[in-house]
């Protein structure tokens, strides 16, 4: 008789929309692991039902140092008083609790770095906070049994500062996932541009909105974040209410049905530190899987994917009028759009989660 191994997976993101965590948990469950996913209950979070157990903390604080402190204290006590064979820590902000729990229980940690955490744009002008997170990275990643991440650039960054080698498990979408029917129908009279993901600093959303002043199309922004209200105010200030539509938080299966209706997907991240420079945004592969041509920033990881697979184009300017001209050029060239869509169809067979699961087999053994 095979004894089930138990793993406690921890994350600070909204578990109802974090597709990477869901895919890894489903993978572990399918391999016979007993999975417990620990996250937090955010205001406006959707209820979640999965095959495995879910624990969600309600906290008094939802951002800043008090959030990270209270979350990790709650998580540490949960880990100490709930037996497990392994801990899976997602990103640096869950690692302190896993680190100290591992010391007390001698249970091994597996670490999934979704990004170069100490290099996020929010820490660029906050030197003290950046030093704290960099100390956590240097001190605690080395204690993990195994570690993996989302791109070559992030792996190289952590190798440099910690000496720890990381496997690369790309955050590709699942192949041929059915989209949930949605009541949201995009414009039938105009071209539709989609941005999906966090509405945070450095994501290029302000650039996209400013560009819409010179584009006869509709920009659909799906997601929430620190700059959500600020971006809504910008659209109103520029009198773009009919051209820029905000949807807030949408569940992944419904989001796919919206993406399938788009003519162009954008990922216009700024080069604000190593985190964005080395990023491979989930949305890029979601667009490809939905056979939606893409326009991306001139950043090495994204640029490489787009040029290699010929699924869209790369920005050569970040001036709103020139970005607008590029968008108009792409949307008006039907034959090119058709070819990009065909290339997306081919690329989706390569950039799918199923191709990554064999790598997880080696990590979780």
CATH number at residue 238: 3.40.50.2000
Kindly state whether residues 357 and 344 are assigned to the same domain.
Answer: no
| 143 and 266 share one domain | no
Domain span at 305: 191-348
Reading the block at residue 306, the tokens are: 């787009």
Nearest to 340 by CA among 297, 296, 282: 296
Q: What is the pLDDT of residue 46?
A: 73
With DSSP H G I counted as helix, E B as strand and the rest as coil, what are the percentages for the chain, rounded to 5? 45, 15, 40
Q: Is residue 305 part of a domain?
A: yes
> HSE-up of 197 (CA within 13 Å, CB side)?
21
The pLDDT assigned to 1 comes to 45
Question: Which tokens go with 363?
Answer: 């990590």
* pLDDT, block means (10 residues), the chain with 365 residues: 83 85 95 94 78 90 85 96 97 96 96 92 85 94 95 93 94 79 82 94 94 97 93 96 92 88 96 85 93 95 94 96 97 96 95 92 90
Residue 304 Cα distances to 67, 118, 247, 314, angstroms: 37, 24, 30, 10
| Alpha carbon distance 315, 249 (integer Å) | 27
Phi-psi region of 179 (alpha: psi -120 to 50; beta: other; left: phi over 0): beta
Could you give the number of structural domains in the chain? 2
Cα–chain center distance at 13: 10
In a domain, 182, yes or no: no
Tokens of 70: 């209270």
196 and 165 assigned to the same domain: no
Residues 6+ apart with CB under 8 A from 48: 15, 16, 54, 56
DSSP state of 180: P
On the 0-12 / 13-18 / 19+ scale of CB atoms within 10 A, 239 is exposed
Structural element, H or E, at residue 248: strand 244-248
Return the pLDDT at 178. Answer: 67
The string of DSSP codes covering 76-138 is HHHHHTS--SEEEEESGGGHHHHHHHHHHH---EEEEESS-GGGSGGGTT-HHHHHHHHHHHH
Structure tokens at 155: 């792996």
Could you give the C-alpha distances from 271 to 8, 221, 228, 298, 301, in angstroms and in order?
A: 35, 21, 20, 9, 12
C-alpha–C-alpha distance, residues 254 and 93, integer Å: 28
**Res 59: pLDDT:** 82
**8 Å CB contact between 17 and 42:** no
Residues 11 and 72 placed together within one structural domain of the fold: yes
Which 8-state DSSP code applies to residue 178? Answer: P
Bridge partners, 9 (sequence order): 37, 88
Residue 178 lies in a domain: no
Q: Is residue 180 part of a domain?
A: no
């Amino acid at each position: 008789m095979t004894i089930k191994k138990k793993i406690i997976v921890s994350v600070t993101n909204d578990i109802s929309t974090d597709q990477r965590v869901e895919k890894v948990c489903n993978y572990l469950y399918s391999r016979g692991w007993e999975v417990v996913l620990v996250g937090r209950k955010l205001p406006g979070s959707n209820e979640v039902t999965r095959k495995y157990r879910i624990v969600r903390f309600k906290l008094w604080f939802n951002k800043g140092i008090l959030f990270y402190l209270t979350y990790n204290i709650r998580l540490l006590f949960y880990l100490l008083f709930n037996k497990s064979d392994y801990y899976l820590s997602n990103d640096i902000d869950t690692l302190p609790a896993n680190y100290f729990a591992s010391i007390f229980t001698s249970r091994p940690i597996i670490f999934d770095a979704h990004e170069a955490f100490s290099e996020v744009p929010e820490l660029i002008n906050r030197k003290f906070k950046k030093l704290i997170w960099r100390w956590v990275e240097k001190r605690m990643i080395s204690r993990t049994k195994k570690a993996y991440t989302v791109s070559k650039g992030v792996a190289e960054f952590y190798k440099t500062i910690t000496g720890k080698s990381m496997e690369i498990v790309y955050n590709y979408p699942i192949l041929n996932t059915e989209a949930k029917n949605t009541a949201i129908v995009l414009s039938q009279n105009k071209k539709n541009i989609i941005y999906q993901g966090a509405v945070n600093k450095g994501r290029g959303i302000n650039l996209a909105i400013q560009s819409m002043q010179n584009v006869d199309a509709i920009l659909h922004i799906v997601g929430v974040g620190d700059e959500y209200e600020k971006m809504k105010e910008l659209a109103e200030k520029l009198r773009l209410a009919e051209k820029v539509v905000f949807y807030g938080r949408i569940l992944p299966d419904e989001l796919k049905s919206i993406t399938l209706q788009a003519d162009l997907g954008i990922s216009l991240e700024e080069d604000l530190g190593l985190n964005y420079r080395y990023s491979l945004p989930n949305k890029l592969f979601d667009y490809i899987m939905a056979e939606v041509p893409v326009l991306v920033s001139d950043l090495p990881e994204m640029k490489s994917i787009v040029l290699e697979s010929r699924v869209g184009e790369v920005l050569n300017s970040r001036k709103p009028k020139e970005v607008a001209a590029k968008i108009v050029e792409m949307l008006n060239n039907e034959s090119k759009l058709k070819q990009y869509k065909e290339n997306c169809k081919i690329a989706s067979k390569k950039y799918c989660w199923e191709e990554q699961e064999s790598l997880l087999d080696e990590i979780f053994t």
